[in-house]
Amino acid sequence: RPRVFSGIQPTADSFHLGNYLGAVRHWVALQDTHDAFYCVVDLHAITAGHDPALLRQRTRVAAAQLFAVGLDPERSTLFVQSQVPEHPQLAWVLGCITGFGEASRMTQFKDKSQKQGNERASVGLFTYPVLQAADILLYQANAVPVGEDQRQHLELSRDLAQRFNSLFGATFTVPAPHIVKDTAKITDLQDPTAKMSKSSSSPAGIIDLLEDPARSAKKIRSAVTDTGREIVFDAETKPGVSNLLTIHSALSGRSIDELVAAFAGRGYGDLKKELAEVVTDFVRPIQERTRTYLDDPAQLDKLLAAGAEKARAVASATLRSAYERVGFFPPV
């Protein structure tokens, strides 16, 4: 079976709909067709400053949500990145074949470092995509399901795999992005031309999976919509309405065309009201299951430790051959 790898950061108290629809939803689907490795990337989560106790708590909440949305520990491997030390061990080597200029061109680094101020942005934030490449390459993943915003990082992972292979001999599978067009980008409810993002959207622009559905309903009611009154899908001229239709369609399973037909002659208010109901019905059971996992943290940690053990079996074999090819001494 083809191998799939993806990761998500534990940097918020909840995933938002962008994370879920752009990435995590596909993780669940792929576990039926792929040998799936999924990771809560806590090493990445410390690149922009953090609180230790909060990080540990958010790592558990992230894992609980992933199990709650349908990741099955029998069918896929879910683990916490810091429990698999091969990730930073490979990242060092990849960092040594990454050009400084090449890393400087990553738009996510440029955006985030600009926001933080260049003096405050960490070296870890700069090398973030190199660690991400190590994550992916350790598992010899063929496919990497991520949102559109991660395309450039994935391109770097491909380049590094090819570069390493040609410098030192065939070692890594060259991964391909698995970006599902329909929901590749969920936008901010208050600024529908920008992506829904925990670090740059205002709270009113984000719908969190674990927030009170009444709060989500309120945000949907005050979502920015477009001029005109017609409910049609056109991401260019009607980004606000199109985003609401995208979310509705993804959660309800009804096609955009079907929704546009159903809302013909009706107003934005009707769409928002119905979307709030769809979101509520969707998140309620997820919230309940997440709570159940969090109520038994010892059991949750056990599931994750088992995942880390499975992950290490694959990661250590890849690291060993990479280190050997680079010319390092054998492990003692």
Q: By CB under 6 A, which span of 98-106, 141-149, 216-224, 285-293 interacts with ligand AQP?
A: 141-149
Q: Single out the catalytic residue among 112, 185, 219, 272.
A: 112
Distance of CA 284 to the CA centre of its chain: 21
CB-based contacts of 60-64 (< 8 A; 24+ apart in sequence)? 60/294, 60/297, 60/300, 60/301, 61/10, 61/13, 61/14, 61/210, 61/290, 61/294, 62/8, 62/9, 62/10, 62/15, 63/293, 63/300, 63/303, 63/304, 64/290, 64/293, 64/294, 64/300
Residues 197-236 that bind ligand AQP (CB under 6 A): 197-200
218 a catalytic residue: no
Q: Which is nearer to ligand AQP, 141 or 146 (CB)?
A: 146
Task: Pick the binder of ligand AQP from 4, 8, 66, 91 (CB under 6 A).
Answer: 8
Cα separation, 298 vs 307, whole angstroms: 14
Q: By CB under 6 A, which span of 114-122, 192-200, 216-224, 278-286 interacts with ligand AQP?
A: 192-200
Please report how close the Cβ of residue 129 comes to ligand AQP at its closest, in angstroms.
11
Take residue 22 and report the two structure tokens written for it.
Answer: 């752009």
Contacts of residue 10, defined as CB under 8 A and 6 or more positions apart, other chains included, come to 40, 41, 42, 45, 55, 58, 59, 61, 62
Task: Pick the binder of ligand AQP from 65, 76, 77, 150 (CB under 6 A).
Answer: 150
Task: Pick the binder of ligand AQP from 3, 4, 19, 161 (CB under 6 A).
Answer: 19
Q: By CB under 6 A, which span of 89-97, 145-153, 241-249, 299-307 interacts with ligand AQP?
A: 145-153
Inter-residue contact 239 to 192 (CB < 8 Å): yes
Please report how close the Cβ of residue 127 comes to ligand AQP at its closest, in angstroms.
15
Q: Single out the catalytic residue among 110, 115, 198, 238.
A: 198
Residue whose token pair is 């299951």:
289
Residue whose token pair is 């943290």:
297
- Whether 135 has a binding-site annotation, put simply, is yes
Please report how close the Cβ of residue 10 comes to ligand AQP at its closest, in angstroms.
8
310 a catalytic residue: no
238 a catalytic residue: no
Cα–Cα nearest to 38, from 74, 97, 81: 81
Q: Which residues are annotated as a binding site?
A: 9-11, 18-19, 135, 147-149, 186, 195-199
Residues assigned a catalytic role: 112, 195, 198
